Amino acid sequence: MPAKPTSPSLPEYSESSIRVLKGLEPVKQRPGMYTRTDNPLHIVQEVLDNAADEALAGYGKKIKVSLHLDGSVSIEDDGRGIPFGLHPEENAPVVELVFTRLHAGGKFDKGQGGAYSFSGGLHGVGVSVTNALSTRLEVTSHREGQMACLAFAGGDVVEALQVRPLQAGERKQGTTVRVWPDAKYFESSQLPMGELVHLLRSKAVLMPGVIVTLANEKTRDTQTWQYKGGLRDYLMQTLVADPVIPLWEGEGFADSSHDSFAEGEGAAWAVAFTDEGAPVRESYVNLIPTSAGGTHESGLRDGLFQAVKSFIELHSLLPKGVKLMPEDVFARASYVLSAKVLDPQFQGQIKERLNSRDAVRLVSGFVRPVLELWLHEHVEYGKKLAELAIKAAQTRQRAGQKVEKRKGSGVAVLPGKLTDCESRDIAYNELFLVEGDSAGGSAKMGRDKENQAVLPLRGKVLNTWEVERDRLFANNEIHDIAVAIGVDPHGPEDEPDLSGLRYGKICILSDADVDGSHIQVLLLTLFFRHFPKLIDTGHVFVARPPLFRVDVPARGKKPASKLYALDEGELTAILDKCTKEGVPRDKCTISRFKGLGEMNADQLWETTLNPDTRRLMPVHLGALDFAATVALLTKLMGKGEAASRRELMELHGDSVEVDI
């Protein structure tokens, strides 16, 4: 029997087809996963953060950044110098490992025996990313009476480590790193000077007494910053309007007897309230600028709100019918916040946003009592601040009532199963579309009834991709959703009337399983097809409930706690952290939520509804434009598209992890 002919056009798929990315290859293949690629500032910042961590640990007083004529940048510090002896397990110089291995550094071991108690991050990619994305990188380390030098090109060692004794007159200790960023990885090879100056200035602010210098060889300019007055000086110099009450500053850090937080954890802050102008808001975690905010800022907001609210209640200042909300106090606040967190969890590799849930409690717990005391000591200033917050609340409520009147009496009767919120202010109102009645019941009990509404959905929603707009209301679930949000179905080219919109955030809340994902897709299809302007204007969100709960027993002075993980990756990270804190894995109880219905009201609030601790993803167009997204959704959701779906499955089926 003749052999079956093989098609020459099909590529062979065998063991040799599988490629394993080694060393720094993953960074070069996908630099956007590890750093910002619009310009090289962030890879320079990684080196700068290391120098700042030395100063933060108390070992350095000077940091100098030089911009050289050849386009390279050098960062010099007078810290301890990177160790250059052989690593006991890896049998290679430690300084080489730091620059060539992802997840190698001195910041993983916290507490006793670690080199750093507080540092700017624990992703462990750090300067190895700087090295991978540079044509050349030179390191010089002075320590223990010796000087060591080595150089890399594209992440590989090109000049091996050389060590010699220090000569007379040479500096005793410190590290100098000189970087030549590789232009092919960045949209622009130029460093944004404004951002660089802001970054260096902020380092000086956050480390009072440390001298930070920027030298530019091209312009022959040298700028030096040293703030002995710290946050207060900086905020006063940056404000554009005069504060209504004197600038308020404070700090609070846990001592060794604190029952919830490690020694040294806490925050320092300076806050000013102004009547006009754009507020100045800057926050940092272990000196890393968190431009997208995060849970430490939520803690500051909560602390300010609780303190002002209790002052207003004590002095009976709130007019009848006015309800105070956190944003009323926070709206006119300018602040600089510097938090110290032992094991910071950041969102993404570039550390723009802090995700650590405990940071809300940490910062709020220190801010509230200090502000309460200050307000009671300065009652006149307290009353001025209360007046500012009450005025903001009245303006907000008036705006909500105007919208209500414009609707007139022709408003459709709201669905019976909708549990509405009390507020009518769409800037803060949220609607949760919840899968199933049992989860709906927990959500109703756990929500903040002031501004969170709940609409339970029974079973799977209709696939509306090919449903005519006129026929949409024949389906009860979709009729209820449309009436609840107060906007009629429309097309991408229409100009719908959004004045009837009743909620600023419409959040899809479904189980973290396959069925939950399907309901999510069906609802996203409904909004993209029939309410596209809600997605355009940023009103649609997807809530991410956790998949696991870890019960950690009491350890030392730390009480027993419950931790939540979104997925397997976060679960592993939590268990690793517990192991480091001396709690064996078998002592931690792991439970997996089969669905939202298994969560009680408190758990649902803590993990999924509380704005300070939940994970809420905004829905907007991704890498594809509108037309390409329509084409893709047609393949996924169209009735006559089974062949296209099969093709998609054949192409991408092996990249999906199925949780059975």
- Report pLDDT digits (tens) over 90-123: 888 999 988 988 765 554 444 444 444 565 543 3
Q: Which helix (H) or strand (E) holds 626?
A: helix 626-637
pLDDT reading at 333 higher than 90: yes
Catalytic residue among 352, 448, 513, 598: 513
Q: How does strand 73-77 pair with strand 62-67?
A: antiparallel
Between 301 and 576, where is the model more confident?
A: 301
Q: Is residue 293 part of an annotated ligand binding site?
A: no
Confidence category of residue 404, pLDDT binned at 50, 70, 90: very low
Residue 119: both structure tokens together: 């540092």
- Report pLDDT digits (tens) over 570-585: 899 899 888 888 888 8
pLDDT reading at 18 higher than 60: no
Q: What is the reported pLDDT for 465?
A: 93
The Cα–Cα gap between 280 and 271 comes to: 10
The candidate with the shortest Cα–Cα distance to 564, out of 583, 585, 550, is 550
The Cα–Cα gap between 59 and 79 comes to: 5
Q: Is residue 635 part of an annotated ligand binding site?
A: no
Q: Is residue 429 part of an annotated ligand binding site?
A: no
Catalytic residue among 372, 425, 511, 612: 511
Q: Are 403 and 474 in contact (CB under 8 A)?
A: no
435 counts as catalytic:
yes
What mean pLDDT value characterizes the chain? 86
Q: Is residue 126 part of an annotated ligand binding site?
A: yes
259 counts as catalytic:
no
pLDDT reading at 645 higher than 90: no
Average pLDDT over residues 147-153: 96
Q: Are 488 and 496 in contact (CB under 8 A)?
A: yes
Assign 3-state DSSP to the chain and report helix, strand, coil percentages, each to 5.
35, 20, 40
Q: Is residue 277 part of an annotated ligand binding site?
A: no
Q: What is the DSSP letter of 607?
A: I
User: DSSP string of 182-221?
Assistant: -GGGSS--S--HHHHHHHHHHHHHHSTT-EEEEEETTTTE
Q: What is the reported pLDDT for 408?
A: 38
- Report pLDDT digits (tens) over 255-293: 988 888 988 899 999 999 998 888 999 999 988 888 889
pLDDT reading at 136 higher than 50: yes
Range with the poorest average pLDDT among 58-67, 245-254, 577-586, 651-660: 651-660
Range with the poorest average pLDDT among 245-249, 387-391, 424-428: 424-428
The Cα–Cα gap between 432 and 436 comes to: 12
Q: Is residue 198 part of an annotated ligand binding site?
A: no
Q: What is the reported pLDDT for 561?
A: 87
Catalytic residue among 515, 567, 570, 641: 515
Residue 65: both structure tokens together: 């950044």
Range with the poorest average pLDDT among 1-15, 536-550, 582-596: 1-15
| DSSP reduced 3-state for 493 | coil
Q: Are 37 and 185 in contact (CB under 8 A)?
A: yes
Q: What are phi and psi of 561, to 5 degrees?
A: -145, 160
pLDDT reading at 351 higher than 90: no
pTM beyond 0.85, yes or no: no
Q: What is the reported pLDDT for 122?
A: 35
The Cα–Cα gap between 382 and 278 comes to: 22
Confidence category of residue 405, pLDDT binned at 50, 70, 90: very low
Range with the poorest average pLDDT among 1-15, 189-203, 626-640: 1-15
- Report pLDDT digits (tens) over 412-462: 578 889 999 998 889 899 999 998 888 889 899 999 999 999 999 988 899
Q: What is the reported pLDDT for 108?
A: 40
- Which structural domains are found in the chain, ordered by start? 25-225 (3.30.565.10), 230-401 (3.30.230.10)
576 counts as catalytic:
no
The Cα–Cα gap between 597 and 607 comes to: 14
Torsion of CA 196, 202, 205, 208, to 10 degrees: -70
The Cα–Cα gap between 492 and 530 comes to: 8
The Cα–Cα gap between 367 and 480 comes to: 43
Confidence category of residue 4, pLDDT binned at 50, 70, 90: low
Q: What is the DSSP letter of 149?
A: E
425 counts as catalytic:
no
Q: Is residue 121 part of an annotated ligand binding site?
A: yes
Q: Is residue 77 part of an annotated ligand binding site?
A: yes
Question: What is the percent of the chain where pLDDT is above 90?
Answer: 50
Confidence category of residue 211, pLDDT binned at 50, 70, 90: very high
Other Cβ atoms within 10 Å of 1 Cβ, number: 3
Q: What is the reported pLDDT for 103?
A: 60
CA distances, 610 to each of 75, 293, 325, 350, 616 (Å): 42, 16, 14, 25, 10
Q: Is residue 351 part of an annotated ligand binding site?
A: yes
Catalytic residue among 138, 435, 477, 480: 435
pLDDT reading at 410 higher than 60: no
CA distances, 194 to each of 179, 189, 444, 659 (Å): 20, 15, 48, 47
Question: What is the percent of the chain where pLDDT is above 70?
Answer: 90
Q: What is the reported pLDDT for 659?
A: 60
